Amino acid sequence: MGDGEWKRALRAPFPVPCPLFPVPAFPLYMTTVFIISAPSGSGKSTLVTRLMANVPGLMFSVSYTTRKPRGVEKEGENYCYVSREQFECMIGRGEFLEWAEVFGNYYGTHKGILEQAQGRGKDLVLDIDVQGARQLKEQISEAVTVFILAPSRQILEQRLRARGEDRDEVIQRRLREAAEEIRNYNQYDYVLINRDLTESDAILSAIVHAERVRRIRIEDQIQPILETFGFKEVLKDGR
């Protein structure tokens, strides 16, 4: 069953507690996984959108959620929207790489997304919170993690208010949540302070490009080159 088919199967009405569709089997380390987290209002969505547009060979992981679409959000593009019952059935079947309940709604990354990325020869970008990042890093230790910070609490609050989406009590709740998330910055490989959008865009792209040429990620490209110099078997420690 293709990725479009199992998404349609999940969203279709069903007479039993759980929809039935196969969960793809996959090796966990088939592609470079980039995990990007940030408190709401830090500019993460804008930076991820620019990253996807400017850097080739990336695939964005569309998360599942039980919350309702907001504004111009589109099914299958921003999120896959499912009922709470459907999501809990998927949890029970072990279909998520990571999942969390945030502000009363479930969010999760389906295991099948890794198989899709491998099949397309893409690196995978995940926009997930601190809880999800921690869960995913436990399963995929080689995943690259990036935490995006606003320059200060005051600037973060200004950005949240400028969006014009939330009531004051919601903004205050987001600021309290941001303080908790920021405590975990030291669990990330990179911290990007989003002072200027153009600069931050360039830094995030540079992180992706640099990680792609780490020696451990390109051994399959290095070995054939060494063989042209007469090495029949080259050990990875250089001896």
pLDDT in tens, 131-184: 889 999 998 999 999 999 999 999 999 999 988 778 889 899 999 999 999 999
Number of domains, the chain: 2
The candidate with the shortest Cα–Cα distance to 35, out of 128, 135, 167, 99, is 128
pLDDT in tens, 64-105: 999 888 777 888 888 899 999 999 999 999 999 999 888 789
Q: Is 120 helix (H, G, I), strand (E, B) or coil?
A: helix
The pLDDT assigned to 3 comes to 44
The pLDDT assigned to 22 comes to 42
Within this chain, do residues 113 and 229 fall inside the same structural domain, yes or no? no
Find the CATH number of the domain harbouring 4: 3.30.63.10
Within this chain, do residues 43 and 101 fall inside the same structural domain, yes or no? no
The candidate with the shortest Cα–Cα distance to 107, out of 67, 54, 59, 58, is 67
First-last CA distance in the chain: 46
Within this chain, do residues 86 and 110 fall inside the same structural domain, yes or no? yes
Q: Kindly indicate the confidence band of residue 39, based on its pLDDT and cuts at 50, 70 and 90.
A: very high
Q: How many whole angstroms separate alpha carbon 170 and alpha carbon 163?
A: 12
Inform me whether the pLDDT recorded for 17 exceeds 60.
Answer: no
**Complete DSSP assignment for 26-53:** --TTSS-EEEEE--TTSSHHHHHHHHHH
- Residue 192 structural domain: 31-57+123-239
The candidate with the shortest Cα–Cα distance to 96, out of 104, 106, 81, 83, is 106
Find the CATH number of the domain harbouring 127: 3.40.50.300
Within this chain, do residues 117 and 127 fall inside the same structural domain, yes or no? no
